[in-house]
């Protein structure tokens, strides 16, 4: 019987190690990555508990209407302002609702300026509006905003009496809606993100996922809902916003800890290059969407001046 040489034995051992390593890599690709990607998409598109119902101070109406072109219903609060004043559609952010204390506080502050306010629950947030069960980071929610616009038209408001005021994902939803509706004259966009894949990658590790998992998570979103939410980004609306002659005011904390400041810088550059009417107000603050709390008097004065310039009063 011939003995196996040491060289042959080493080659066989090396081959086995390579096979095992490749098998482990294949297992990661075929099993671990898809599971991690699915979990990351769940984190992006769902929430743990619904918000407790809370109501505005003073008089208000609970109203509902269909999202434009969709089968689901949007629930909202309507707060009446001063006679002949325009109306603002208040659009909350990710995993939020019209019931949140900060959202209710904004509603009250906007009404104190004299504006009528329609504070909506975006579909599949923590409020009452339910769509397909998945948060779409503005991709689907823009139809909720357009449904609110249609509802206000049915109440007798003219298009040039309706403004949009959104925060974070609500600002994104508002900009996406304005790109589809040329009659929208003005959007106050507080802390929007330029692309969902970018902001998701930047925040992935804070939710326990490596950045590399994000493309797979967005692919799961397409498989589950049919929505390619990474495609119709805020940045890509520049030409439409310019063509529609919609005025846009960006607001962003210079050290935003969640949606980084560069997102508004990127939107500003893209929209200005397309010829849009857009400005950026930078506030020295850190907590996401905290510009209103940091510079309350200046924030409300700037907002009031913006909408008085671009909306019709009376």
Residues 6+ apart with CB under 8 A from 261: 252, 253, 254, 255, 282
Q: Comparing C-alpha atoms, which of 79, 77, 86 is closest to residue 58? A: 79
For 201-260, what is the HEC assignment? HHHHHHHCCCHHHHHHHHHHHHHHHCCCCCCCCCHHHHHHHHHHCCEEEEEEECCCCCCC
Looking at residue 31, its pLDDT comes to 79
For 141-166, what is the HEC assignment? HHHHHHHHHHHHHHCCCCHHHEEEEE
pTM comes to: 0.91
pLDDT digits (tens, 9 = 90+) for 175-204: 999 999 999 999 999 999 999 999 999 999
Neighbours of 22 (CB within 10 A): 10
What domains can be seen in the chain, in order of their start residue?
1-45+198-224 (no CATH), 54-195+233-310 (3.40.50.1820)
**What mean pLDDT comes out for the span 123-141?**
96
Examine the pLDDT at 82 and tell me if it is beyond 70: yes
pLDDT digits (tens, 9 = 90+) for 208-234: 999 999 999 999 999 999 999 998 899
Structure tokens at 42: 């769940």
User: What is the rounded distance in angstroms from the CA atom of residue 119 to the CA atom of residue 104?
Assistant: 8
Q: Comparing C-alpha atoms, which of 226, 228, 203 is closest to residue 214? A: 203
Examine the pLDDT at 13 and tell me if it is beyond 80: no
Looking at residue 257, its pLDDT comes to 97
Mean pLDDT lowest among 31-40, 153-162, 185-194: 31-40
Q: Comparing C-alpha atoms, which of 160, 83, 79, 85 is closest to residue 313? A: 85
User: What is the rounded distance in angstroms from the CA atom of residue 93 to the CA atom of residue 85?
Assistant: 25
């Amino acid at each position: 019987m011939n003995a196996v040489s040491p060289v042959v034995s080493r080659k066989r051992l090396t081959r086995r190690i390579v096979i095992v390593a490749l098998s482990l890599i294949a297992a990661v690709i075929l099993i671990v990555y898809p599971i991690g990607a699915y979990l990351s998409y769940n984190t992006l598109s769902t929430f743990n508990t619904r918000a407790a119902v809370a109501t505005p101070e003073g008089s208000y109406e609970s109203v509902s209407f269909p999202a434009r072109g969709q089968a689901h219903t949007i629930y909202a609060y309507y707060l009446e302002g001063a006679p002949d004043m325009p109306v603002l559609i208040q659009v909350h952010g990710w995993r939020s609702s019209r019931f949140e204390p900060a959202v209710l506080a904004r509603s009250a502050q906007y009404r104190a300026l004299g504006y009528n306010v329609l504070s909506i629950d975006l579909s599949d947030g923590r409020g009452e509006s339910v769509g397909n069960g998945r948060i779409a980071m503005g991709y689907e929610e823009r139809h909720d905003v357009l449904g609110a616009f249609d509802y206000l038209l049915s109440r007798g408001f003219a298009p040039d009496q309706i403004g949009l005021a959104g925060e974070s994902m609500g600002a994104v939803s508002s900009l996406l809606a304005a790109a589809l509706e040329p009659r929208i004259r003005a959007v106050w966009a507080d802390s929007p993100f330029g692309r969902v894949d970018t902001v998701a990658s930047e925040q992935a590790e804070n939710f326990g996922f490596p950045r590399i998992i994000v493309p797979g998570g967005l692919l799961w979103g397409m498989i589950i809902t049919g929505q390619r939410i990474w495609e119709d980004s805020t940045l890509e609306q520049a030409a439409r916003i310019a063509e529609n002659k919609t005025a846009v005011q960006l607001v962003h904390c210079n050290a935003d800890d969640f949606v980084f400041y560069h997102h508004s810088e990127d939107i500003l550059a893209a929209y200005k290059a397309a010829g849009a009417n857009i400005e950026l107000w930078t506030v020295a603050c850190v907590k996401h969407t905290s510009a209103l709390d940091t510079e309350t008097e200046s924030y409300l004065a700037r907002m009031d001046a913006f909408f008085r310039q671009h909306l019709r009063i009376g």
